A and B are shown apart, each in its own frame.
Chain A
């Protein structure tokens, strides 16, 4: 079974530039997550999709971050304009649909390491 695919693996941009990350979840997984992991910290949920609907985006900085999940499969996370503090690893994960209202285990991609200079 193929895992969660993410691209690119690494990205270096200047502040105020824009950047986009792509994620292809495991086939059949209805739930897709984007997490931000700053060095030395745990992953912070940015947005969670159930099919192509948003379940939670309460921690997404909506003035600069946006995400979409077209047709309930692939997803793109965009940052525009980037700030220095956006330097982090961006992790995409997917899981099967919720069980009795709770999410099952999520499977993660390798992540995209973003450096903003």
Chain B
């Protein structure tokens, strides 16, 4: 069975500082990996994906993620956080179905 672990319930960062939201996965075969963001009372919004190729993938709003096969990780990163980045972030892994982690709340302080 496939699974996703997001070890941090909440990440706090000051505006302008770099941010990292952690994700590890477990799946048979090559993984397809995704990050989504959820704002209050909204559905999930796709940020970026890794299918194959370059281990560093770039997505929406300046976010990027680094795929590390040996560590089975897919951490979300941004060089300079904005207050408006504050939201709930979900990592997901796909083979036959799409499985989500429990989410990490990102709080960016002014």
Contact = CB atoms under 8 A, between A and B. Distances in A.
Interface residues of A, number: 27
Nearest to B90: A42
Contact of B43 (A55, A56, A101, A110): A110
Contacts of A104: 32, 49, 94
Given A43-B44, A111-B42, 19 more contacts: A33-B98, A45-B99, A55-B96, A55-B97, A93-B44, A95-B98, A98-B96, A101-B95, A101-B96, A102-B32, A103-B97, A103-B98, A104-B94, A105-B34, A105-B46, A106-B98, A108-B43, A108-B44, A108-B45
A104 B98 CA distance: 9
Those 7 A-B pairs whose CB atoms lie nearest each other, nearest first? A108-B43, A42-B100, A42-B102, A108-B44, A103-B94, A102-B32, A43-B100
B56 interface: no
28 contacts: A33-B98, A35-B100, A41-B102, A42-B90, A42-B100, A42-B101, A42-B102, A42-B103, A48-B97, A55-B96, A55-B97, A56-B96, A91-B43, A98-B96, A99-B32, A101-B95, A102-B30, A103-B94, A103-B96, A105-B34, A105-B46, A106-B98, A108-B36, A108-B43, A108-B44, A108-B45, A110-B42, A111-B43
A93 B46 CA distance: 11
A72 interface: no
B14 interface: no
B42 A45 contact: no
Nearest to A45: B97
